[in-house]
Amino acid sequence: MINERIVMAGFGGQGVMSMGQLLTYAGMIEGKNVSWLPSYGPEMRGGTANCNVIISDNPVASPIVTDATAVIAMNRPSLDKFEPSIVKNGLLLINSSLIDKSAERDDIVAYDIPANEIADELGNSRIANMVMLGAYLEATGALKKESVLEALKKVFGERKAHLIPVNKDALDRGAELVKGNSCG
């Protein structure tokens, strides 16, 4: 049974909201109950941004995540703020390209993912979020990568369809970092 409660957080412009929307759409494609709750800092640009996503086989009573099964931290302030909210044995994905520390807790599963470096290797610095999303999908098995790609087609439309292959590559690279890799 699926009951994922995910917090994705980072600076505005890091694709945090897009990541959340894609998970939500993919959940709908798979017939799950989903919710997406965005939250923005008061700054116009470069401020904090996070979203709560719930993917469940059961109806979602509240879109607010207080006890996260997973946190995807794209920057240090997000790691510091949301690591304490992860349930025991929950998942923490850290963007080690921008965060200079690892998980402090030893009762969770944590991965350091150099998302920005991988995005740069793939030739598009804007897909670091997709690297993290690929790692999340592999670590949890909550949704199928194919569902996320289908959601991406709907979000991108015909005009941006040419970006789907590089986004797929980013999902694959993120998954590779988690696959068969012990925590850390």
Average pLDDT over residues 144-171: 92
Average pLDDT over residues 123-148: 97
- pLDDT confidence of residue 181: 67
Q: How many CB atoms lie within 10 A of CB 63?
A: 14
Name the average pLDDT for the chain: 93
Is the pLDDT confidence value at 39 over 60?
A: yes
**Domains along the chain with CATH numbers:** 3-178 (3.40.920.10)
Model confidence at 184, pLDDT cuts 50, 70, 90, reads very low
Model confidence at 168, pLDDT cuts 50, 70, 90, reads very high
DSSP summary character for residue 74: S
- pLDDT confidence of residue 98: 97
| Burial (CB count within 10 angstroms: exposed 0-12, middle 13-18, buried 19+), residue 170 | buried
Model confidence at 42, pLDDT cuts 50, 70, 90, reads low
The residues, ordered by sequence, that sit 6+ positions from 67 with a Cβ below 8 Å of its Cβ are: 5, 85, 87
- pLDDT confidence of residue 81: 94
- For 19-28, write each residue's pLDDT tens digit: 999 999 999 9
DSSP summary character for residue 64: -
Quick one: tokens of 50? Answer: 């996070």
